[in-house]
Homo-oligomer: A and B are copies of this chain.
Amino acid sequence: MIELIENKSRKEHIQEVAEKLFREKGYTATSMRLLAASLGIEPASLYSHIKSKEEILETICFSMAAQFFNSILEIKNNTLPADTKLRAFILAHIKVVLNNINASAVFFHDWKHLSSPAKENFVEMRKTYEQEFRKVLKQGMDENTFKVNDINFTVLTIFSALNMTHEWYKSNGKWQSDEIGNKLADLLINGIAKK
């Protein structure tokens, strides 16, 4: 059986196929019947492994959130120059996005379909995570190496650039995660204009 060969539980398999479908069609437009058919089972059989459609969405969103937090855990308290630290943050963030390309697409597009209180928790976690990026921008201003007029605006723009990579990234393409992370860091830190 595939799930034994790949050493994955049936639940993990459901999760994985759901991520792919949710990414392609969107969470709301994906029916449990299609998910079941994609797994080769009857719709009712899904509910032996999962509680509800929304449970799948919650698992995606909170597992991704945990991965984002973990990815910067070892960087955030290091003593590093602001530009080095920001680049490390960007590389860590992009690695999580590109290693979980389906889940991150769902994470970015469909978190708003979470119910309360999951939705409020989600927004709160995102804010806490973004705070680490705010801190490093502040640090760069204090060190006089960054010129940032508006920290909030800059953080939002950085995340815009980082989080859209999932839309155009092809895993069979020529770029590795760190290459893309470095290109993004170069562009955001140094800009398009020649020095």
Contacts and interface: CB of A to CB of B under 8 A. Distances in A.
A83 B71 CA distance: 36
A194 B156 contact: no
Contact of A193 (B113, B145, B194): B145
Nearest to A24: B112
A149 B26 CA distance: 34
Contact of A147 (B86, B160, B183, B192): B192
Contact of A146 (B28, B29, B145, B193): B193
A189 B194 contact: no
Contact of A164 (B29, B146, B164): B164
Interface SS of chain A: helix, strand, loop or mixed?
helix
Contacts of A165: 160
Contacts of A180: 153
A7 to B, nearest CB: 33
A162 B159 CA distance: 12
A109 interface: yes
Interface of A: 26, 28-29, 83, 86, 109, 112-113, 137, 140, 144-150, 153-154, 156-157, 159-161, 163-165, 168, 180, 183-184, 186-195
28 contacts: A28-B29, A86-B192, A109-B109, A137-B192, A140-B192, A144-B194, A146-B192, A146-B194, A147-B190, A147-B194, A153-B180, A153-B183, A156-B168, A157-B161, A157-B164, A157-B187, A159-B164, A163-B164, A164-B164, A187-B188, A188-B191, A188-B192, A189-B192, A189-B193, A190-B191, A190-B193, A191-B193, A195-B195
